[in-house]
Amino acid sequence: MRCLAQSGLHGQEDCCASRAGAHVALPTAQLPAAVAGMCPLQPGLAAGAPQYRKHAGRDPGADGPAPHPRDRGWYTASLQPTHAPRKHALRVLDMTGLLDDGVEQDPGTMSMWDCTAAVARTCIAQQQGGTAEPGLAPIPVEVRVDLRVNRASYAFLREALRSSVGSPLRLCCRDLRAEDLPMRNTVALLQLLDAGCLRRVDLRFNNLGLRGLSVIIPHVARFQHLASLRLHYVHGDSRQPSVDGEDNFRYFLAQMGRFTCLRELSMGSSLLSGRLDQLLSTLQSPLESLELAFCALLPEDLRFLARSPHAVHLKKLDLSGNDLSGSQLEPFQGLLQAAAATLLHLELTECQLADTQLLATLPVLTRCSSLRYLGLYGNPLSMAGLKELLRDSVVQAELRTVVHPFPVDCYEGLPWPPPASVLLEASINEEKFARVEAELHQLLLASGRAHVLWTTDIYGRLAADYFSL
């Protein structure tokens, strides 16, 4: 067998290998040697020192370009079978949990793209060229992995999944992230995944709509252990009903009721105006993470959520892009009150919250005593409003990060009320903003909270993942 691994791994989670009933932690820096030295598919393979050859840019054993964007070196290791008996053989190789997004990604680490490519090539190579010695049955190895796929890598990954069926290398996908993938291809991949392994399905930038989703969702619903479902562009606006749309939405709701373990639901950029009650009422268990960014929520949607069983269990809530400045403000405050005991992560980017709305919300916001992250980027707040927030949040001992907007004081000739697009694109006075930063820093020092990060950088940190909360 030829085992493939990315060179230069460091600074990531450990890879865990289970050997003969024991659990062994392996730093990912040792991954190439670990895979080659501990991963025999035959009982006679020795764990001696494998010989590595470095190849630029792609695995030399595969045809065509690698399906991941980074052009880095690969190591290949060849192991020759020996007749020396082995006391232990690798049964489980865990390659999950590798970082993938954000500028904090170390360029020397293995990403989700790299891991997908490495595992897929290994499965294909084993199916095409892996043979056991006569009379010796291959030792099965379960490879646990998070998979990321797009149009360019779809055929390659599908072949790998097909190759792992009945193979000694059993590919076990924990998290599937499919980007810009046609509906039929998404269904084909879902049909090849082990129903007992998958915990997350993330369909990004697929623009499925209700019609496409009604085709895909029954294939997703068969994963009974699914804990996280991330969908986008699901349009169920009650203000613009259609016969086909209503039928598809009812079918989607019926399928959502099949999930028994779902804890996170993301419905970004979906028109759910007046439909949130129908969506959340179908779920069998309360959610702990709910992302409803740019969903055009109405006051009745927020009121329902505040009264629902989900509110008192929420750890993460994202309402970005929903206007909370008018009639939505009061029901939003009621929702915060209901979730105050459990909320850890609150994202309110581009919610049109000015100083008046923020100051009215501070009494209930500061009751969120466990809050660790608050996102307010893209809201028309002044320096005075930010200082009030900083002073009042001193009671929130767990708060570690506040992503705040550039204060409106730092813009020149800003229209009022300023549209979010203007706040995001207009130039700011750098000298004014430097003084603002210095003043905020001094206030943090004076309150003994220099450890709390106040920043305008919305891209410099990895978004909090539900499973890490």
pLDDT in tens, 183-195: 999 999 999 999 9
Q: Give the model's confidence band at 141: pLDDT under 50 very low, under 70 low, under 90 confident, else very high.
A: confident
- pLDDT at residue number 213: 87
Tell me which of 3-17, 109-123, 156-170, 454-468 is least confident: 3-17
Cβ contacts of 134-137, under 8 Å, gap ≥ 24: 136/42, 136/43, 136/44
Spatial neighbors of 10 by CB under 8 A, at least 6 apart, are 27, 28, 29, 106, 108, 109
Q: What is the pLDDT of residues 314-324, one digit of tens each?
A: 999 999 999 99
- Closest Cα partner for 345 from 367, 323, 368? 368
Beta bridge partners of 344: none
Q: Give the model's confidence band at 462: pLDDT under 50 very low, under 70 low, under 90 confident, else very high.
A: low
Q: Give the model's confidence band at 131: pLDDT under 50 very low, under 70 low, under 90 confident, else very high.
A: low
- Does pLDDT of 242 surpass 70? no
- Does pLDDT of 58 surpass 60? no
90 against 11, higher pLDDT: 90
- pLDDT at residue number 209: 78
- pLDDT at residue number 99: 58
Beta bridge partners of 2: 78
- pLDDT at residue number 97: 80
Determine contact, residues 157/186, Cβ cutoff 8 Å.
no
72 against 142, higher pLDDT: 142
Determine contact, residues 152/189, Cβ cutoff 8 Å.
no
- pLDDT at residue number 421: 86
- pLDDT at residue number 22: 33
- pLDDT at residue number 235: 64
310 against 269, higher pLDDT: 310
- Closest Cα partner for 298 from 236, 362, 361, 378? 236
- pLDDT at residue number 51: 32
Residues 210-234, mean pLDDT to the nearest whole number? 91
What domains, with CATH codes, occur in the chain? 314-468 (3.80.10.10)
